[in-house]
Homo-oligomer: A and B are copies of this chain.
Amino acid sequence: MSKFIKKASKTIGLAPGSLVHVGEKILDKPRVTIIDYDQEKFKEKEVKNVEECFPFKESPTITWINIDGLHDTDIISRIGNYFDIHHLFLEDIVNTSQRPKFEESDKYIFVVLKMLYFDDKEDEIKAEQVSIILGLNCVISFQEKEGDVFNPIRERIRNNKGRIRKSSANYLAYVLLDAVVDNYFTILEKMGEKIESMEDELVAHPTPKNLQIIQNLKRDMIFLRKSVWPLREIISGLQRTESNLIQDSTTIYMRDLYDHTIQVMDTIESLRDIVSGMLDIYMSSISNKMNEVMKVLTIIATIFIPITFVAGIYGMNFDSSISKLNMPELKWPFGYIFAWGIMIVIAIGMVTYFRKKRWL
């Protein structure tokens, strides 16, 4: 459940804008890295003291500051103060239960996203909050922990591959968003495989345990949907914004990104439909098994109950010496064979009936 509602209790009763970290503390110490580049120059360093970032603010080169680890609210607050970021934005950055959102002010565009990854140990989807602040010549990104999703981007900047080094800060922001959205496809592939293998199992050997797994899949789909749905508005907002922080040339990329987001959502909806159909397969597999059990019982019972009755008849102790009407069969020379004959006729009749009814 904690996936859906994080303990927000500690923030309740506080003044709006108070910086309180909501979420797990994953890293010991936040890690701050700076990449500063333009088409010719490139500089990358990890800083111990957050103040080392500040000189880059004024430089005409593009600066990407990445902070991994959000529990040290003091660092966040110092960056916020220096870069003049609204305290409500800072509150959103450290509250990892924040809904994905998009805000723009004169100086900044602020985006909160969910990075999804599949936790193989607990066999469920988890989300990490990623916040991106786009300024005139700088991008500041905040992650809960060190991630490898942005590594290919760093590599492309270092090696001056693609358009990043030739473009301005808003293209970098787009590339970061694109990396997050692309990553959703990996999750969807994973989910697709789980669903497929689950289905084969359901058809072959449905067990009560499957039900639990179906419920977990359903919940994962709800969670996925909840994490991705707001993205639509965000990207659409970025696309239509009149802020001069987004150049016209970036708009076509944003439209492409919007398209991918829609595709992610379409796929989630399709998977949801398929997952909710799985319960029907399960329930009717159970019904089928029950039917089979009932049929076996019925066949056995309806064959043996009548012939046991016949055996019961000739087990009666009526005194045949008193009257010829009292169980004369017992005295017949072929009496025993006669009884077996009746019983065999009954059994064959029953089996024929079941054959006709297609139960056998």
Contact = CB atoms under 8 A, between A and B. Distances in A.
A51 interface: no
Interface in A269-313: 270-271, 273-274, 277, 279-298, 300-302, 304-309, 311-313
Contacts of A282: 284
A262 B297 contact: no
A229 B256 CA distance: 18
A188 to B, nearest CB: 5
Nearest to A304: B305
A218 to B, nearest CB: 6
A273 B15 contact: no
Interface stretch (A40-48, A126-134, A155-163): A155-163
A219 interface: yes
A267 interface: yes
Interface in A231-265: 252-253, 255-256, 259, 262-263
22 contacts: A4-B274, A5-B192, A9-B185, A88-B252, A101-B259, A212-B281, A222-B273, A222-B274, A279-B284, A291-B293, A301-B302, A304-B306, A307-B309, A308-B309, A309-B311, A311-B313, A312-B312, A314-B316, A315-B315, A315-B317, A318-B339, A319-B335
Nearest to A300: B302
A277 B278 CA distance: 13
A196 interface: yes
Interface residues of A, number: 126
Q: Which 8 A-B pairs have the closest CB atoms?
A: A15-B162, A311-B312, A323-B333, A13-B152, A314-B316, A315-B315, A297-B298, A1-B192
Contacts of A325: 333-334, 336-337
Given A277-B218, A325-B333, A293 B295 contact: yes
A304 B273 CA distance: 46
Interface in A165-208: 174-175, 178-179, 182-183, 185-186, 188-189, 192-193, 195-196, 203, 205, 208
